[in-house]
Structure 1
């Protein structure tokens, strides 16, 4: 039998709350750079990668499909983020599920993007928490298609009484790389 160290309830709750911020940043994101694609980009290039540290644990996915290439308005297909169609995975015994297809709009002149709604469920052990955040703002990293989040707060919509009523994601804790 494998021995795992005891983790305090406070630490578990912090991780669950943290996971809620995970995809709330929606995409999570890439660490590389990419050049802007025009509207004629092939479907194979209409992807988004992500990575984020949540409560000391890394969560990531690769190759999620988007409905268009940035900077065109687009949606991220949750079926290509969540397993089994996608490969969203987190360390530390945390599981996450993106519950919607987030829509993104871009303002290239200002170097910003905006997400209409992120709806995510985070789970650890027997605790499940669902959070929603609206109107999330992102800042472009130079001339790449990598966008880094501005601070935002997500509100609990369902889940255990142990889940915080809201969680705040600091600026820079999530990013998305459109390619």
Structure 2
């Protein structure tokens, strides 16, 4: 009887801590207080599903109790279910909303998004060309970042948004405009 009444509380605490840990423990690693927590981050959807299932179980048990369909063995079991429900609900809210994200985490996330969609290209231009005209032509390609274009002799480098244009398309468009250009290995 005691085993049944005490089970929801530690189970709720464990699942909630795992789910919230996906958000809080990376903060400790940023601060240098802890090591790598990639395992928790990788399984965050699994912990979310576990938390939802736990909340459903606890909700159904409490609704059945209040409707008179089910009765608990004692006051300890009633309190343990209520406390477990509160812990699971708080863990769900904290885990989903991630209110403890630091400014560093937000900036790192933005940088990651930028790195995910931005690529760098290096080109070799083989025939004589006007650097200013070439810069105008490469900047006119949608997705190429104008401030990133650097021309050093016959080598040209630029950053572009990979979701708007590919490196192959950039080379093709420049060749179409009359430049003898190819991707550089350097």
TM-score normalised according to structure 2 size: 0.24
Higher strand share: 1
- Which structure is higher in RCO with an 8 Å CA cutoff and minimum separation 6? 1
Higher helix share: 2
TM-score normalised according to structure 1 size: 0.24
- When Rg is computed on C-alpha atoms for both structures, the one with the higher figure is 2
